[in-house]
A and B are shown apart, each in its own frame.
Chain A
Amino acid sequence: MDGNGGELSSFLTALSEDRQLQDAYAQDPDGTMREAGLSDDSISILLSRDLGKVKAALEEELPGRDFILFMIIF
């Protein structure tokens, strides 16, 4: 799977763009991820559907691009 990041970011990028992959993931997340070659760790993170874990894993894969943005106007 191509992509500029690690396996997780590459998989999520593909998932966001490929409707067939989305259908496959919806029916069989575990099998689809194994077929895509994801590691057990990445599969475990995605199967948890835990937003904090997914964000943390992505920030680890794409270092230097993670930041928090907020705006307060008075």
Chain B
Amino acid sequence: MTPEAASAIERADEVLYLVTQPLTAQWIERANPRSRSLHGLYASGKPRRKTYAEMVDEVLAPVRAGREVCAAFYGHPGVFVNPGHEAIRRARGEGYRARMLPAVSALDCLVADLGIDPAATGLHSYEATDFVVHRRRPDPTASLVLWQIGVVGELGYATSPRRENLALVVDRLSRAYPRGHEVIVYEASPYPLVADPFVLRVPLEQLPDAQVPLLATLVVPPARRPRRDRALTVRLGLS
């Protein structure tokens, strides 16, 4: 957590939070006793969009009452956090001052833990279900990050990844990568002082049978080098 985010939590009149780690929840509640979780808005069978809309309403209600509100989300509040963006958009639309503080996302962690430099390889990323459903075309010359690989196709509560859905990801990736291409199953450590990140390197074709944590991200390293446009290289004076 950045010092700015910690300060925002500590000084808010009200803190609404949604996190995945119990220790994080405990820290927030100790940092500001006027904190409460938004997790109770989730319910089995409840449409996710309705849950998100209720989260936004929960955040905006005290804002409209004139209170300084801090909404805290796991990871980066703008990365895979629909209510984070929507709450700010609506608050500003209603004339209130609202600001998103940047934070550390899983992408930032994997860049550090796996030593991936986007400048060296290029980098593109998709949400894993989106990648499959929308038939996204990966660029095998650049690093690919697929978010939420552990919950492909899940719209409700999940306890473990479904192998058949992971197989769909493999099938999609196999059109651009060799089936033996090494991929990396990754989960950032929320407790880096005492626990290492989860890193599992497996051939692409073995992904459905691999140990994939629910919160995992899949990293697909480039399979080949990009082709250089010689004419443009000369034109730019780079030859």
- B117 beta carbon closer than 8 Å to chain A: no
Segment from B20-28, B93-101, B172-180, B224-232 that makes contact with A: B20-28
List A residues at the B interface (Cβ < 8 Å). Answer: 3-5, 9, 12-13, 15-16, 22, 25, 46, 49-52, 54-55, 58-59, 61-62, 65-74
A72-B127 in contact (CB<8A): yes
- Chain B interface, DSSP helix/strand/loop, else mixed: loop
* A53 CB to nearest B CB, Å: 8
Q: Is the CB of B193 within 8 A of A71?
A: no
Q: B26 contacts A70, CB within 8 Å?
A: no
Structural contact, B26 and A9, CB atoms closer than 8 A: yes
Q: B48: which A residues are within 8 A, CB to CB?
A: 71-72
> In the complex the two chains form, is B25's CB within 8 Å of A65's CB?
yes
Interface: B197 (CB within 8 A) = yes
Name the B residues within 8 Å of A55 (CB-CB). 21, 190, 195
- Contact, CB under 8 Å: B26 / A4: yes
Complex contact A54–B194 (CB within 8 A): yes
A residues near B198, Cβ cutoff 8 Å:
51-52
A50 engages B195 (CB within 8 Å):
yes
With contact pairs A9-B22, A16-B27 given, residues A72 and B129 touching in the complex (Cβ less than 8 Å): yes
What residues of B have a CB within 8 angstroms of the CB of A51 in the complex? 187, 189, 191, 195-198
- Report whether A67 and B39 are in contact in the complex, using a CB–CB cutoff of 8 Å: yes
- Name the 5 nearest CB pairs between A and B, nearest first: A62-B22, A65-B22, A54-B195, A51-B195, A49-B196
B20: chain A residues at CB < 8 Å are 67-69
CA distance A66 to B19 in the complex (A): 9
B46 within 8 A of A: no
CB-defined A-B contacts under 8 Å, sample of 27: A13-B23, A13-B27, A16-B27, A49-B194, A50-B195, A51-B189, A51-B191, A52-B213, A55-B21, A55-B195, A58-B21, A59-B22, A65-B25, A65-B26, A68-B157, A68-B158, A68-B214, A70-B148, A70-B151, A70-B215, A71-B80, A71-B81, A71-B82, A72-B148, A72-B154, A72-B155, A73-B82
